[in-house]
Amino acid sequence: MLWRKVTPYLLLAVCTLIALYALYPASSTTLNEVHDSPSKSLSTEEIYPHVIEKNSSLYVALRKLNVDSLSIQKLVKAAKPENNLARLMPGTRFRLVFEEEPVTSYVDSQEVREEKAKSPVLKEMHILTSTTDVLKIYRLQDQWFTESYQEPVEIEPVTFSGIVQTSLWESADAANMNPELIGQLSEIFAWQIDFAREVRRNDRWRIMVEKKMVRGETVGWGDIRVAEYENEGRSYKAILFEKEGELKGYFSPEGKSLRKMFLKSPIKFARISSRFQRRRFHPILKVNRPHLGVDYAAPIGTPVRAVGAGRVTYAGWRGGGGKTIKIRHNSVYKTAYKHLNGYAKGIRRGKRVEQGQIIGYVGTTGLSTGPHLHFEFFKHGKFVDPLRQEFPSADPIPKKFMAEFQAHSNEVLQALPDWQPVSELSANF
């Protein structure tokens, strides 16, 4: 039965290879043309042929290349404000440019030519200080100067697709995809799917992402440009749309933002009677106690709304909080509503609620001096002040960009790879 286990992985590997090599020929061609240069086909090792060896130093490396001590001293000194060359890590690559000595007189004896070859005059040194950063140290007459520049980064769109068998991470692994991209994918759909709790076997995903390359080597990953996630048979699509300086975000094919804003307040026309304070004298307990929420004064029975879509994780009596509702909005945000008089019909643990849905009514249950709603906001499990949270825009695509967005959306959605087949794989279990 081994082949049954191996086949899907082979399939994934093949698909990934196809994705890596056969993708988006039109766009790669354009990029190649833009960055075309004689050095284009050369690898990093060919462009930067010298390397600082293990347990060695730049000085030793340069002396081996016949650079004279005085030049080394001068260039190290010149580079000092930018980079301490004495501390370059082994493995650092560099290249040298030598200057031809001006011919002062017509001498062409064997000795003179040998002498020249022994001590070539260094003109420039280019050190690759990271995958993309280059420090250039160069000489003009007897003075040394420095200049920083970057190796051109090429962006190549590539696609991946996966199917969940045990976890999202495992599906990335099976697709030979960098797991950091799963983090990016789960952030894109954070408002649509609770990736900590709602991922199911046979959920499927497919993406097109920007691969960053320097001289043919992958140096990192850019934005996911388009993604689709199928959760329990429901499909969610995300299209990245960017207008320099104006907007950048993920949108549904209809142009709606995938982000959702929270309502400004869980109560319409409420008056804030107590703000979020790390230190406050508690009116009933008569001790200093932080007030880790916002109080809204309102008459008993005033409807309380969920500030965002999510799932009810608690609906019941909770000590000093009295009748309490807690909602988990996604893997980052949770809210809590306390001192309620009662719960709206159908509100119980596990129930899904929409943004703005009435979940309960203002009361004064638990430790409370009068009718009010105590509202709490949690980010990554910690109390935060809801009135001080800044959320990115959740506006839809503006009308003026709609036509352009739709053309773009159609194009990138077609570039997504085929789904991984579900039936074959699930037969294994």
**DSSP-assigned states of every residue in 351-418:** -EE-TT-EEEEEB--SS-SSSEEEEEEEETTEEE-GGG----------GGGHHHHHHHHHHHHHTSPP
Q: Report the SS3 class of residue 147.
A: strand
Q: Which stretch binds Zn ion (CB under 5 A): 88-96, 148-156, 309-317, 374-382?
A: 374-382
Q: Which stretch binds Zn ion (CB under 5 A): 72-80, 160-168, 190-198, 369-377?
A: 369-377
Name the CA dihedral angle for 86, 90, 94, 98, rounded to a multiple of 10 degrees: 60
Please report which helix (H) or strand (E) contains residue 26, including its range: helix 25-34
**Cα–Cα distance measured from residue 216 to residue 56, given in angstroms and rounded to the nearest whole number:** 28
Encoded one letter per residue, x for contact with Zn ion by CB under 5 A and - for no contact, window 287-326 reads: ------x-x-------------------------------
How buried is 346 (Cβ within 10 angstroms: 0-12 exposed, 13-18 middle, 19+ buried)?
exposed
Residue whose CB is less far from Zn ion, 334 or 374: 374
Sequence-ordered alpha helix ranges (H) in 80-224? 110-118, 168-174, 180-188
State both tokens at 319. 């000590």
Name the CA dihedral angle for 333, 337, 342, 346, rounded to a multiple of 10 degrees: 0
CA 102 to chain centre: 53
φ, ψ of residue 31 to 5 degrees: the values are -65, -40
Please pick, from the candidates 305, 351, 374, 408, the single residue that binds Zn ion as defined by CB under 5 A.
374
* 339 binds Zn ion, rule: CB under 5 A: no
Q: How far is the CB of 373 from Zn ion (least distance, A)?
A: 8
Residue whose CB is less far from Zn ion, 283 or 316: 283
Q: Which stretch binds Zn ion (CB under 5 A): 61-69, 90-98, 122-130, 367-375?
A: 367-375
Site for Zn ion in 224-263 (CB under 5 A): none
Q: How far is the CB of 390 from Zn ion (least distance, A)?
A: 22
**Cα–Cα distance measured from residue 291 to residue 305, given in angstroms and rounded to the nearest whole number:** 21
Q: How far is the CB of 14 from Zn ion (least distance, A)?
A: 59
Residue whose CB is less far from Zn ion, 228 or 295: 295
Q: How far is the CB of 374 from Zn ion (least distance, A)?
A: 3
Q: How far is the CB of 161 from Zn ion (least distance, A)?
A: 48
Residue whose CB is less far from Zn ion, 322 or 417: 322
Q: How far is the CB of 293 from Zn ion (least distance, A)?
A: 5
How many residues bind Zn ion (CB under 5 A)? The answer is 3
Chain residues in the site for Zn ion (CB under 5 A): 293, 295, 374
